[in-house]
């Protein structure tokens, strides 16, 4: 059975004052890895990937790059939550 739009995984990461949302989910064009800056209320980066697991790995890499400013803390352990299509995650 093919994945539905928005099916996939989401994780919220907080490092200091930074708050980003990581996603590995199905979009219209295929499965994407995505990071979203919750403080700035904007998408930072997205990339097509082969599957949800690759999307999780890639989103974590993008978050590490995005949050790797001088003096930034190390990323905490990331807890991925399975999406419920049509329902917003807080």
* Pairwise CA distance, residues 69 & 50, whole Å: 29
Higher pLDDT, 90 or 69: 69
Domains of the chain by residue range: 8-73
Strand locations in 1-90 (E):
8-15, 18-27, 30-37, 42-48, 81-82
Q: Is the separation of the CB atoms in 59 and 36 below 8 Å? A: no
pLDDT digits (tens, 9 = 90+) for 44-79: 999 999 999 999 999 999 999 998 865 566 788 999
Q: What is the number of residues in the chain?
A: 90
Q: Is the separation of the CB atoms in 26 and 1 below 8 Å? A: no
């Amino acid at each position: 059975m093919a994945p539905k739009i928005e099916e996939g995984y989401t994780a919220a990461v907080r490092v200091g004052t930074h708050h980003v949302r990581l996603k590995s989910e199905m979009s219209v064009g295929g499965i994407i890895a995505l990071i979203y800056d919750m403080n700035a209320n904007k998408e930072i980066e997205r990339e097509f990937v082969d599957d949800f697991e690759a999307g999780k790995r890639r989103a974590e890499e993008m978050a590490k790059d995005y949050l790797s400013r001088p003096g930034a803390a190390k990323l905490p352990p990331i807890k991925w939550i399975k999406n419920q299509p049509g329902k917003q995650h807080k």
